[in-house]
Structure formats: C-alpha cells, structure tokens
Structure 1
Amino acid sequence: MKILTCSNSCPQWEGRRLSPRSPGGLVPMLIDLLNTYGGEWIFTAPPGVETAGPVTLDGGIVLHPVQLDEELRHRHYDTISINLLLGLLHYLHDTSVEPLFDNSLWEGWAGYEAVNRLYAKQLAERSANTADELVLLNDPHLMLVPEFFASQQLTRRSRLTYFLGTPWCEPDYFTVLPERIRTRLLESLLNCDVVGFHARRWSDAFLACCERFLPHARVDADTVTYREHVTHVVSAPFPLDVGVLDTMADESATRRWTERLEGMAAGRRTMVRADRIDLWKNIPRGFAAYAAALERNPRMAEECWFAAVATPPSRAAERHLAYQQASEAAVRRINERFGRPEKEAVTLIHPGKGRDSRNCVVAALRMSSAAVVNSTYDGLNLFAKEAAYLLDDSAELLLSANAGVHEQLGPLARTIDPFDLDQTSRAMEESLSVGGGPGAGTAHARRMLLRSESPEDWLRAVFLL
C-alpha cells in the first residue's frame, strides 16, 4: 500500500525525518501515516522557502514542495481559500456587503484554478494508478484538484479520498456562491470515491447541497451517484495522539510553563482556552461571557483566573488583526474592572508558534478546573480533545454545540450555545465553583474514548478499507 497525499498545509523536516510531532491535526496525522506506510506528499512551500525539487526522507517518504509566486499565492490563498471559502464554510460572511464577485474576486478565482491545476498535474505525474495506491486530498484550498486529476486519467484504479477539516454549510448559505462556482466545486468533489468530514452534521450538509444543486444526482443516506460514479460520504474525526500528550506532560518545557502559569494563577482556580486567532473561535464573546459572570459574582476575580492561550494565524489579514485587537481590548476592560496590576482576572498568553506553544497548553490544562471551547462553527477543535484527555477528574469541559467534536464528546462535556452569552456565562460560573466538576466517571470515559482512536482506524474509515 502506498499513500499519495496533497495539502496546502506543509510539514517540517530535519535531516531525513519529518518533525515535529504534536498531539493531532492534519500535518501530524499525515506524518504518522507516511512514517507507517511510506509515500509522497505534495504541499505548498511556505513564502520565502526555496527548495530545489523533491526531498527524499527515510522510510520511503518523498516530499514535493510546490513553489508559488506571491501574486498567485495571494489570489489562491488569501482571496479564495481563506476569505471566500473558509468564510463560507464557517458562516462568516456578512451577506449585506460580502462577498462581492467583482473583477478582483474573479481574478482570484482564476488563481485558485491555476494552483489546483498545478497540484493535479503533480499528482498525475506521481500516481502509479494501481489498486493499492491511496490518494488523499486535504484542505478547502484544493477542491478543484479532483476535477483536473480525473481529466488526466482514462481509467482510475487508485482510491481517491477528499477530506475536509472544516464544517460544510447548509444549502441556503451555499447559495452565497454563484451557480458556476458552487456547481463546479460539488462536481469536482464527486470525482472522488470518498468525501470525508469530522462530523456527521457536516456530511449531511454536503449531501443536502448535492441533492439541491445537482438535479441529476441521486443522493442516498451516505452516497451520491453522479454521472455513473458513486461517492461515499463519511464522518471520521481525527484521532488524538495520547502518547504524544503523555510524553509532553513530562517534558522540561511543560514544567517551565507549569511554574510560570501557577505563579500567574496565584492559587486561584483556573479556566483555560487555547485557540489560533481564527474568526470562528469566538474569542471576544468568550471574554464577554466571563465578564458577565464577574459582574454577577465579583468574588470570582479573587478566586478564579481565566487563561487564554492564543497563537496567530498563518497569514493575518486586516480582519484577523481587528479581531485580535477586539480580543485584547476585551481583556483590558475586564482587568480594569476586576483585576489588579499584580493579579489579572484574565490573561491573554501568546506563547508563539512551534512545539513550545503546545507545552504551554498541556501545562495549562493539567492545572485547570475548566476548559472552554465556544467556537461559532468549527470543523473539529483539537483543543477540546486535548482538554478531554488532560483535565483531571474534577475539571469540566465546556463545549460548543457547533464544534464538530461535539458529536464525540458532547455526552461527556457541558454543552454551551456559542451565541448565548448568558448561558455560556452561567456555565463558566458553575464549572468554576467548588465541586462543580463532572466527577471521576466522566473523566475516565473521556480518556478511554480518546485512547481507543488511532491513525490506522481513521485511514480505514476514510478509504473504506
């Protein structure tokens, strides 16, 4: 068996080995699978990183960085992949003013097509097109690759799967896209044998879009038959690598972060969140909910501390910067009202990128009485799985009903409505109260569930092996 994979996301490598590992997510998943089975990985080289062709690593792994000039990268990544498609799939567009399909956006669409065509060409050149070849496409950045790839093969023998780590929106919202784009994306994905998502609700939304916008498609419970080709639609959440978390818990970087965070907590019960500063993470509303809890119960400022770990997005656009500034302003207002210079009520922690940032998260979770995930709409949310594993028996996970991982962890967490500040606020207050946790039985069930997962099981699920 050989894996041939494409993603916009890129790995890091040192010498002849892929690195580093973290507890989960797309890149660690692909690293684990390639280290096990070998194969080739096509990905977008980061800006400013020049490579002279393929990189051959140990274990039969070959990396193929795709070089893009800045103008093409901007059109493909910023204009279409991030602003248009991720905005659509996460319900982020203010439809009173956006998106505006003017000449600039159509130029961006031409760039999106060009990059997808380039990926498909690389894929076709490297595909052996044999029955034991597994072709795995990832990220909304590459949704036209199946169309271009299929056009270069008269008969395909390899298995082709597309996995989207994002949500998928309902048909009414999908009409934000012009007909020629939405039809094109659906038809391209239906060249695949399998289309996968983290949660059944995203799979159902995709099936509903196929049924509504492709009149000649036959949609059944888990399949779409279109132009005589059958595509299976599956939900298969990424597993958590609990072995990595167990190792990180004993690392010196985690001990350093633990000492630092315990000093900041100053003996108070701690609530933690950890997010990349993405627009759907709902960070300002989370702070607003906590402020409401403090207004209702000012003693919480003396007894509790809210630690918010934040990392920057890959390419911060103007909207992301405004979002970060709004989050920082909310923290300042809370501390001006309830904090003291030597004892903040809320702290926004920026550990930076890299493995050390995950050590910060591990340290924070191991000392916390509660963890909160209040995403507006989230494909999975890895932090929720980390929290479910690392929180102790008396600690509680507050989990958005709109996070994809809620299908797995909802019965073992306290569900919150990400748009209801009062409900979220009261859940925070109750979770931080003495004796407010779920108990040892729930914590044990969370850990057993997460220990039962593996990358191999995920691979079998998304390729129907």
Structure 2
Amino acid sequence: MRLILVSNRLPVQWDGTPNVGGLATGLSSFLSHWKSQGNEVLWVGWPGKSISEKEQNHYANQMHNEHGTIPVFLKQKLADSFYNGFCNKTIWPLFHYFTAHCEFSDSTFNSYEEANEEFAKKIREIYQPGDWVWVHDYHLFLLPGILRNEFPNILMSFFLHIPFPTFEIFRLLPERFRTKILKGILGADLIGFHTQSYTQYFLRSLLRCLGIENERGIIYFQNHLTKTAAFPMGINVEQFSKYANSKECDSIANQINTNHKNLKQILSVDRLDYTKGVLQRLNAFELFLKQNPDWIKRCKLVLVLVPSRTDVSSYQSMKRAIDEKVGAINGSFGTLDWTPILYQYKGFPFEELVPLYKNTHVMLVTPFRDGMNLVAKEFLVSQKNGMLVLSEMAGASAELPEAILVNPNDVSGMANAIKEAIEIEESEILKRNEVMISRLKENSVMDWANKIYYETEETAKRNLNFQTKSISPKSDVLLPKSNRPIFILFDYDGTLVPFQSLPHLAIPSKELIESILQLSKFSNVSIAIISGRDRKFLESIFTDLPLHLIAEHGAWHKPPDLTEWNSLFYSNVDWKKEIKSHLDEFTKRVPGSFTEEKEFSLVWHFRNADPDIGLNAAREMLDELSQISSNSGFFVQRGNKIIEVREYGTGKGKAARKILPDIEQETFVFGDDTTDEDMFREIPENAITVKIGKSETIAKYRFHNTEDVHSWIGSLINHLQAVESNAT
C-alpha cells in the first residue's frame, strides 16, 4: 500500500539535506516501519525555494529517486504570499490567540487557495485508487475538500499540529475565509487533533459557522461522513531512551556537567517564535534569582533558541529583545566565575540534545500556546530525575498533569515553579516521572500513526456503506418492475419541499403540484402525503388533489375520495397542557425558537435560534422530557431542528400500515427525518425506500436533496407514459 504524505515542507531541504526536527523527525520511525512492511511512501511538499521551470523536471526526478519526495513547485511571489502571508500572518497568530498580530487580506487568502490547488494538482498526477493520503497542518486546510471532489472514494486523513481555537477566536476570520476552511477540512475521512479540547472547539465552530451538527464526533456533509477525534502525538520513546542509556550519551552528559561545575541545570529549548513565551521565561528566571539569592552561583539556565523565520522583521525584533534580556540578566547577576545564562542560538542534533536533556534538573516548557510540544516528552524519556515545568496552555499538559503546571502569563508563578522544581525531593521527581514516562510509552509516535490509519480506514468503510445507498433519481432501479398497482408515500418537509426558516414558508412550486397531479391521474397510481403538519395546512396546500393526506404523523387521515378527516386513534391528550408550558419556558429562554401546537402533538422549533444555544437547549429538553414521558401518554422524538412530543399510538409507520391496501403492489416511500425511519421499518420488505439527505438510515437508497425527488417524479411519469404508449 502507498502512503502519500502531504505537508507544506518536504522532509529534506531544497538541496537534499535532511530537515532537523518537526514532522520529518517525528514520523521517521513510523515511516521506517511502514516501509519495512512492504509499503511505499511518497512525501509531497514544497522544497522551500523557487526552482526555475527549466530545472523542475530534473530536480523532481532527483528528489523522487534519492529521497522518495514529490516537490510542489510554487513561484516565489506565490510562496511568499501563501506562506509568509496567510499562513503566518493570519492562521498562525489567530490559532495561537495572538489576535493583535493577525492580518486579514483577500490577496493572501487568494494565494492560499492557489497554493492548495497546486498541491492538489501534484497529487492528481500521482494518486492511485487504494492510496492512503495523509494531509498535515494548517497550510493545507483546503486540500482535503479539493481532493474529495476529484476522488469521492479517496482514503484521506487530516491532522492539525497546532491548536484549534475557540469559536469566539475562530469567528474573527472573515466569513468567506472561515467557510472555505471548514468545508475544506471536511473533505477528509478523519480529522485528528492533539487534544479533546481542540476537537470540541472545531465541532463548535462547525455548528456556529455552518450550522453543521455532529453525532458523537461524526459529521455528515455533502453525502460524506467525517470522523473527528483527539490523537495526542507521541515520540519515538525507544530511540530516546536507548540513546540516553548509552555510554556515548553518558560521556557527553558528564562533560557538560564538568563544564558547568556541577551547577543545577535549568534548560529551555525552543524555536524562535512569539508563541513560545521565551521573554517571559527569562523574566521569570530573573525574578527567581532576585527572590532566591541563595541560588546564585548554584544554578545555570541553558537557553537554546533555534533560528526561525529570520527574514521576518517581527522575529528579528523578538530576537533582539531576547538578546538584550539575556545580556541584562548576565550583566546584573553574573560574576567573573559564574554566568547565569548560557545562550545558544542554533539547533542541536539529536546526539547532542539528549545528553543536554539527561543533564538537566529543571526543564522549562512554558509556551503561551502550543498544539502539543514534543520537547516536554523528549525530555521525560531521556532522563529520570529532572523536573518538568510545563505550561498549562500546551497540548501536552493534558497528558502530563504530574508535571508542575504553570500559567505562562504569570511571571511570579513561574518564578515560584522554578524554585519548587529545583528544590523538590528526588524521590518525588522519580515518582512523578515514572507515571508520565509509562504513559508516554503506551502512546508512542508509532501507536499514534497506527491509530490514525486504523480510524481512517474504519471511517472510510462506513463511508462506503453510506455512499453505496446513494442513487441517481433517474436510475431504472427506482422504476416499477411490473404492471401491478403503485402506491407512493411522500413525507412533506425536507422531502417534497426544502426546509425554510419558518414552517409556513415551505410551499411547493406550481411545477411540483402539477407533476403530482399528473402522476395521480394514472389509473394504477395512489399517492399519500404523510407529514407532521396539521390538517389545515395539508388541506390548504393539496386542495382538490386526489391524494391520501395523513396529518400529525398519522393522527388524522383524509382519503382522496372524502372531504372529512378521520382520526386513526382516540385520545384525550391530558398531557399536553403541562408539556406545552414546559416547552414555552424553553421558548422564552431561546430567542428565535417557538412552540407549534397541534391536536395530538407539540413541536418545539429551533431552526432560527442561535445554533449553539438551540442545540444545547434541545439536548436539555430531550433529557428532561425523556425522564417524565414514561407512562405519561406521550413520547419525545428529535427531528430536523425540532423536538416533537406526540401521543402514543401515533407515528408514520403505524399510519402507513393502516392506509396501504392489502394487495400485491409496488410501494415507494420517501422521507428525510428520523420520524420517517418508522415508515421504512414498518412497511413491507419489498418496498423501495429512499432517504433524502445525509444522516444514517435503514432505507435502501438515498437522494441528496428534494430536487432529486422532483426529478424521480418526472422520470416515473415518463416511464408510465411510455408503458401506456406501448400498450396501445
């Protein structure tokens, strides 16, 4: 099997030298294992530099043959606007809650769209059915949707390595940006986040921005289901612990300790970025020294800062501020034989970083906001008796609660945490670290990647079952197979007419009424409209049409040849008064909602309410009413943006059974809602049942929308006309 791994940058630089750190390093052990199983890996990404057109073919062949990579060529102007523009001046600061740094530009978003299209173009060239496509990170939010439109059955995962923000932050994106981003991500079979919080923030943004609900993390959108879940990224625990216990590592660690004159080592390792809170960390260390002069000359802060975005002016300013702060602390507290901070502005290879971890007594990982932060995990598995001080804003904090958790905005709190960490008993450190290390061993990067693959495959199988039911309204499968009588049952809202903001606005077109009338004139065709609507409404819409009308989910029936309605059961509806007052209370609490009263039922509508408030109220209502409905003469059912409370004994399934003639016939049933599942379940097995919309169903087939129903009616009319013509 082939894995097509897609990320903004390739695992090697444009000249073929490996990229240190990041996704390439994190996934190396999984990719090695994947290849050892006889599978293939192709890594698609931008090489990090504009390559001239005349060199592109040669360069692409070389990168493929030597490194298994497929470069996406972006012109320098496009790359700058896409990467330095929308990615790093809009998404990066916004998703890390640095809203003051955000720029919202149509030109950079257009570049973002164009770059995602360029990635899609490259994948189109290499994709083969059966490939697993794994898209990574915020640079490529639009790519899953583009690929899904091109390859409906593609096996595809998307993983976000940075935080997903709360809805209140996410909605700061202009509507035209955020809508495309959300719809783009939904093209994947599986969307992975580092933490459950990020997953919930994404689901809430879907609800609030697009009105899309989820069922336990499963989303139905455009005839495709997507699963969302939290997958905390692990590390290669064995690689770090094995090297940490080697003689080579011990030798380097001992040398570091000698050079530092056996000082207690406090370590900070970060990429240069404003989200990392490096300056606040230095302020906290300075305050620690001021408040604890007894630790002067007894400890040392090793500050490792990895260069990043060195050509961006704001990063250059940040670097200068850090340099000045380091100089100020060393100048204020340093002596001829002791320097408080050892400052290293460079990246460290694995072989030097692990000994640094091993020799550390206190590890400071205190970003303002971080998707996960693997440095914290690397440190833990590289030693045993060092204490981790971890920001509660880092995704890793959900997995590592035994660390000393701090608020990175609280300089005083961080100074106190440094003191606690440097003075804590070694037995306590060992106890805490043992628990965290054990947890990390159970969720290595190998486990992480395998879980994502497994969940993607399982979701794709569900999608296949989901999509095999979809059928063209013009398919011969949906036409009568004999000359037997035909009985057709249509639901109304969501089946014959689309939903509207207010129920009375959902009126069929003249063309639809004419088609139904034309269909009803065939001598062997009977039609029933079976709806939750009341009698008055149905009668006003289908005046003089020779149809069965069933109102209030089967409470009332008017045959085509009668003017009077018949009750299909008897009831005194004693429960209604109490329940109506209950629903009215919710109506007062939820602006935009209203209660509709019918003879045998009550319906609470929340289509026009704030999506989040309405959905939460609906869940609360369901819970409350379900507790009091037992032996109370009514039952509660969730519908499409409604909660319906109706009399026991009513139901579309029971009503359908009562009106269907007891003869050999061809039966067709169309419905969109949970209430229509009753019909699909109760009618004879040989009936053709069709679900309209995207939710799960027991129906045999599925239409996308009401227009498909109209199209089917037209096809049936043409078919019956042809049959009559042939008969004559």
TM-score by length of 2: 0.57
Q: Secondary structure at the match of 2:150?
A: coil
Q: What does 1:174-189 correspond to in 2, within 5 Å? A: 174-189=170-185
Q: Which residue of 1 aligns with 2:279?
A: 284
Which of the numbers 114, 132, 135 marks the counterpart of 1:137?
A: 135
Supply the distance in 1 between the matched residues of 2:251 and 2:326 (Cα, whole angstroms).
25
Mapped contact 1:90–1:377 kept (Cα < 8 A): yes
In the alignment, residue 144 of structure 1 is paired with which amino acid? L
Provide, for residues 17-75 of structure 1, a one-character-per-residue CA deviation record: whole Å limited to 9, x for no partner. Answer: x98697x74213444343323221111112267662243458xx731011222211100
Q: Which amino acid aligns with 1:135?
A: V
Q: Which residue of 2 aligns with 1:6?
A: 6
Task: Give per-residue Cα distances to partners, 1:65-124, cap 9 Å, x unaligned.
Answer: 112222111001100111111111111221xxx5343xxx32222211111001011112
Counterpart selection for 2:403 from 391, 394, 413: 413
Equivalent positions of 1:334-353 (< 5 A) are 334-350=329-345, 352-353=346-347
Residue 192 of structure 1 aligns with which residue? 188
Contact 2:44/2:70 (CA < 8 Å) preserved in 1?
yes
What aligned pairs does 1:61-460 form with structure 2 within 5 A after superposition? 62-94=68-100, 99-101=102-104, 105-130=105-130, 133-153=131-151, 155-156=152-153, 158-215=154-211, 217-249=212-244, 258=253, 261-350=256-345, 352-353=346-347, 356-393=348-385, 395-410=386-401, 412-433=402-423, 435=425, 438-460=428-450
RCO greater where, 1 or 2, for CA within 8 Å and sep 6 or more? 1
Paired with 2:426 and 2:233, the residues of 1 have a C-alpha distance of 30
User: Which secondary structure state, in structure 1, belongs to the residue aligned with residue 161 of structure 2?
Assistant: coil
SS of aligned partner of 1:234: strand
What root-mean-square deviation, in Å, do the aligned CA atoms of Structure 1 and Structure 2 show? Answer: 2.6
Confirm or deny: 8 A CA contact 1:43 1:64 kept in the other structure.
Answer: yes
> Residue 225 of structure 1 aligns to which amino acid in structure 2?
Y
Q: Give the Cα separation in 2 of the matches to 1:21 and 1:240.
A: 17
Compute the displacement of 1:14 (Å).
12
Q: Which residue of 1 aligns with 2:59?
A: 52
Any unmatched runs of 5+ in structure 1?
A: none
Q: Deviations over 1:427-457 (max 9, x none)?
A: 1011112636733222222222222234442
Q: Deviations over 1:172-227 (max 9, x none)?
A: 11122100001110011011111111111111111111111012x12233222223
Equivalents in 2 of 1:87, 1:151: separation in Å?
Answer: 30
Structure 2: runs of 5+ lacking an equivalent: 458-728
Kept after mapping to 2: 8 A contact 1:25/1:238: no
C-alpha displacement of 1:309: 1.0
SS at match of 2:400: helix
Distance 1:237 1:435, change over 3 A: same
Distance 2:352 2:324 in 1: 23
Change (3 A) 1:206 1:414: same
Structure 1 residues 297 and 391: CA distance shift in structure 2, 3 A: same
Question: What's the secondary structure of 2:99's corresponding residue?
Answer: coil
Quickly say closer, same or farther: Cα 1:417–1:141, change in 2 above 3 A.
same
Describe the shift of the 1:29–1:275 C-alpha distance in structure 2 as closer, same or farther (beyond 3 A). closer
- Closer/same/farther in 2, CA of residues 367 and 34 from structure 1, 3 Å limit: closer
Aligned to 2:45: 43
Q: Do the aligned partners of residues 185 and 434 (structure 1) sit closer, same or farther apart at CA in structure 2, a change above 3 Å counting?
A: closer
- C-alpha deviation, 1:251, in angstroms: 7.6
Aligned counterparts of 1:14 and 1:460: Cα–Cα separation in 2: 29
Amino acid of the structure 2 residue aligned with 1:170? T
The alpha carbon displacement at 1:7 in A equals 0.4
- 398-407 or 244-253, which deviates more: 244-253
Which stretch has the larger CA shift, 452-461 or 174-183?
A: 452-461
Question: In structure 2, how many angstroms separate the alpha carbons of the residues matched to 1:9 and 1:183?
Answer: 25
266-275 vs 222-231, which deviates more? 222-231
Aligned residue type for 1:373: V
- Per-residue deviation, residues 121-144 of structure 1 (Å, max 9, x unmatched): 1112222122xx211000211111
Q: How many residues align?
A: 444
Structure 2 CA distance for aligned equivalents of residues 436 and 79 of structure 1: 48
Shift of the alpha carbon at 1:247? 5.0
Measure, in 2, the Cα distance between the counterparts of 1:123 and 1:116: 11
Contact 2:146 2:187 in 1 (8 A): no
Cα distance in 2 for residues equivalent to 1:316 and 1:415: 34
In the alignment, residue 116 of structure 2 is paired with which amino acid?
Answer: N
Distance (whole Å) between structure 2 residues aligned to residue 430 and residue 275 of structure 1: 22
* Counterpart code for 1:150: R
Alpha-carbon separation, structure 2, partners of 1:171 and 1:255: 48
Sort the Cα spacing of 1:257 and 1:10 in 2 relative to 1 into closer, same or farther, 3 A.
farther
Indicate conservation of the 8 Å contact 2:13/2:48, yes or no.
Answer: no
- How far apart, in 2, do the equivalents of 1:282 and 1:437 lie? 30
After TM superposition, give the deviation of residue 284 of structure 1 in Å. Answer: 0.4
State the shift of 1:461 in Å.
2.3
Q: Match for 2:177: what amino acid?
A: I
Structure 1 range deviating more: 422-431 or 319-328: 319-328
- TM-score by length of structure 1 reads 0.88
Q: In structure 1, the residue corresponding to 2:428 is in which secondary structure?
A: coil
Q: Which amino acid aligns with 1:389?
A: V
Contact kept, 8 Å, 1:25 with 1:382, in 2: the verdict is: no
The alpha-carbon distance between structure 1 residues 46 and 253, as it changes in their structure 2 partners (threshold 3 A), is: farther
Shift in Å, 1:342:
3.7
Once residues 308 and 29 of structure 1 are traced to their aligned partners in structure 2, the CA distance between those partners, rounded to angstroms, is 22
Q: Is the 8 A contact 2:236 2:446 kept in 1?
A: no
